[in-house]
């Protein structure tokens, strides 16, 4: 019996043998939520995990904590980060806590090995045990602690789903995603905070709206008579904070950082654990050619949660949609089709993209 070839997989081989097939779900929407391209199941219920951080940061901005405690845009970028626990990340997270008159003991996330291999090697050499401030989500936690304090709520249980701040986060995330109240499902993330789940295309819409806000705000800057909603200003600030401080959103050599550096302000990108990714792309001739009247968002989920495959698929999707220049995409080549090597450095396999984004 002949088994039909899947049409939405990334395939890895070892020699002549297909070793793994990694199922891809991806969707592109405009800021209204209209689907412009897709592969796999754009309706797949997906836990956004850390890809939800920019939307969660919007809820913190709305508390007034950023102004009250003197956070700058670099601090805001760290609130959106899954950082590598480099010194610059930990120093900034500590400074954020200090600005809000808080300390590491107030954090309700735990320590864990760094995402960065280089940082981990240094910790092992020093016999260092990472604590909560080293958590890749410590910037988000520092921001939420400050947000709780800004609204006069207790800080001890800021991470609990029924806390006043988390109720605000749920409202903001669901509205930004284009969902009715209580339209998202919620689970506890790896860092001990609630994380939303919803159909994949709603994640794309969130990022399209963030990029759309950046376009709108920049247009308004050139028009003295223009007025913007507070939410548009906040979303634009989040976009620019991430795009201007990509080294804080990820870290040295990390995909999020390399992606945003390559595209130099044209987009933002954010990983979520277990194979989720989202990109917000500012309006351009390329987005208009894809039928979007302005900015677009892309959301990707790899069914088996493989992050290397996820990054490869994101670069492939950018290429299929002809987003950015060939030179910009070439800067991400190491992520796109990395050779598979064994411990002796011998190339033993390949990675190939066997999916195609379909346009409406």
For residues 303 and 10, the answer to whether their CB atoms sit within 8 Å is no
The DSSP secondary structure of 24-49, one letter per residue, reads: EEEEEEETT--EEEEES-TT-EEE-G
For residues 299 and 282, the answer to whether their CB atoms sit within 8 Å is no
> How many CB atoms lie under 10 A from the CB of residue 42?
21
List the pLDDT tens digit at each of the 360 positions of the chain.
Answer: 444 444 689 999 999 999 999 999 999 999 999 999 999 999 999 999 999 999 999 999 999 999 999 999 999 999 999 999 999 999 999 999 999 999 999 999 999 999 999 999 999 999 999 999 999 999 999 999 999 999 999 999 999 999 999 999 999 999 999 999 999 999 999 999 999 999 999 999 999 999 999 999 998 876 766 789 999 999 999 999 999 999 999 999 999 999 999 999 999 999 999 999 999 999 999 999 999 989 999 999 999 999 999 999 999 999 999 999 999 999 999 999 998 999 999 999 999 999 999 986
* Residue 24: partners with Cβ closer than 8 Å, 6 or more residues away: 8, 9, 10, 39, 40, 300, 301, 302, 303, 313, 355
CA distance 233 to 298: 22
CA distance 94 to 135: 12
Which letter does DSSP use for residue 113 in this model? -
pLDDT, residue 220, reads 82
pLDDT, residue 225, reads 62
Torsion of CA 64, 65, 68, 72, to 10 degrees: -110
Would you call 94 helix, strand, or coil by DSSP? helix
pTM of the entire predicted model: 0.96
pLDDT, residue 359, reads 80
For residues 352 and 337, the answer to whether their CB atoms sit within 8 Å is yes
CA distance 63 to 265: 27
Q: What angle do CA 261, 194, 191 make, to 5 degrees?
A: 60
Tokens of 208: 């399209």
The 3-state DSSP composition of the chain as helix, strand, coil percent (nearest 5) reads: 45, 20, 35
CA distance 17 to 130: 41
* Residue 55: partners with Cβ closer than 8 Å, 6 or more residues away: 172, 173, 176, 177, 206
Would you call 186 helix, strand, or coil by DSSP? strand
CA distance 40 to 26: 6
pLDDT, residue 219, reads 87
How far, rounded to the nearest angstrom, does the alpha carbon of residue 131 sit from its chain's CA centroid? 23
């Amino acid at each position: 019996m002949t088994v039909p070839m899947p049409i939405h997989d990334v395939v890895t081989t070892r020699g002549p043998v297909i070793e793994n097939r990694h199922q891809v779900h991806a969707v592109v929407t405009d800021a209204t939520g209209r689907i412009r391209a897709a592969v796999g199941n754009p309706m797949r219920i997906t836990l956004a995990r850390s890809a939800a951080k920019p939307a969660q940061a919007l809820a913190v901005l709305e508390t007034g904590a950023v102004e009250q405690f003197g956070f700058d845009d670099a601090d805001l970028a760290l609130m959106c980060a899954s950082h590598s626990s480099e010194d610059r990340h930990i120093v900034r997270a500590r400074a954020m806590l200090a600005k809000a008159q808080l300390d590491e003991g107030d954090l309700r996330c735990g320590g864990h090995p760094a995402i960065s291999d280089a940082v981990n090697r240094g910790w092992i050499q020093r016999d260092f045990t990472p604590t909560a401030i080293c958590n890749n989500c410590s910037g988000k936690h520092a921001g939420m602690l400050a947000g709780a304090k800004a609204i006069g709520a207790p800080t001890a249980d800021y991470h609990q789903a029924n806390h006043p701040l988390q109720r605000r986060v749920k409202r903001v995330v669901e509205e930004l995603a284009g969902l009715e109240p209580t339209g998202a499902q919620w689970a506890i993330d790896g860092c001990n905070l609630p994380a939303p789940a919803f159909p994949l295309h709603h994640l794309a819409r969130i990022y399209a709206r963030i990029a759309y806000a950046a376009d709108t705000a920049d247009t308004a800057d050139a028009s003295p008579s223009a007025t913007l909603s507070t939410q548009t200003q906040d979303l634009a600030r989040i976009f620019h904070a991430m795009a201007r401080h990509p080294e804080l959103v990820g870290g040295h050599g990390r995909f999020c950082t390399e992606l945003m550096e390559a595209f130099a302000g044209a987009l933002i990108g954010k990983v979520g654990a277990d194979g989720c990714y989202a990109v917000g792309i500012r309006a351009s001739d390329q987005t208009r050619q894809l039928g979007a009247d302005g900015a677009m968002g892309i959301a990707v989920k790899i069914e088996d949660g493989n992050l290397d495959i996820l990054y490869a698929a994101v670069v492939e999707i950018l290429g299929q949609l002809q987003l950015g220049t060939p030179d910009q995409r070439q800067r991400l080549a190491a992520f796109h089709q990395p050779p598979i090597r064994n411990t002796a450095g011998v190339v033993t396999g390949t990675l190939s993209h066997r999916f195609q984004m379909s346009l409406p």
